[in-house]
Amino acid sequence: MPNSTTDTYLIGDMKNGKPFNGFFIYPRTNIWLIFDFYLNGKRLFQVYNDLLTASMVEDTETSFTAISNKNIFVNDRLKSGIEVTPVRVKKGIVDIARNVNNFRTTGFILTLFDNRSPEYIEIRPIAHGYELISTDKNTIEVTYHASGKKLVFRDLEGRVLTKSKRFNSDHYSITLEKLAYTLKYRLVDAESLERFVKEQW
């Protein structure tokens, strides 16, 4: 981010024990690498590493530490970017990231790490419901109708499955299926996802 403001600061300056100028690591996350940038005691923006992008490229020394995205704030309110909620669980570590564009929630990302392998689950609103995507695994479309909830399962190539299959656990997310059955229409927020994660993890 070459400009006259940010180039001045590689580390942060404190004043009266509080962030004042420069970059400070954001403490309210278990997994995401996020830095706040302050100028004269006011937080102007955050920069962070996009875990979804990092998980889809070659795992190198810098893939999970390279700063590539920016959160924009207006009057200390998130206008665009992500807002992370850390969750304490027994089986591993979890963060819930809320995607925001023009102050509005556009979806969520669950980052779930345990002793086996990480899992990233995206929750995207679609007409009458949600699309649930488990990175490198399966996808489930959840829609709501007068007759009830409808689930459409898709494999890695996007082909519709007649029923959920678990023949290859590397390509099937049990967590995703449990989430699909749990979600309630128009009641998806960080708090409801946190309850789900604590019950399942």
Q: Which two tokens stand for residue 28?
A: 């309210």
Query: pTM for this structure?
Result: 0.84
N-to-C CA span, the chain:
38
Beta bridge partners of residue 13, listed in sequence order = 21
For the chain, 201 residues long, the average pLDDT of each consecutive 10-residue run is 54 92 91 91 90 70 77 91 93 93 96 82 94 91 94 88 68 88 88 92 77
The pLDDT value given to residue 99? 96
41 contacts 55 by C-beta, under 8 angstroms: no
Domain boundaries, the chain: 6-200
With b meaning 16 or more CB within 10 Å and e meaning fewer, what string describes 28-62? ebbbbbbbbbbeeeeeebbbbbbbeebbeeeeeee
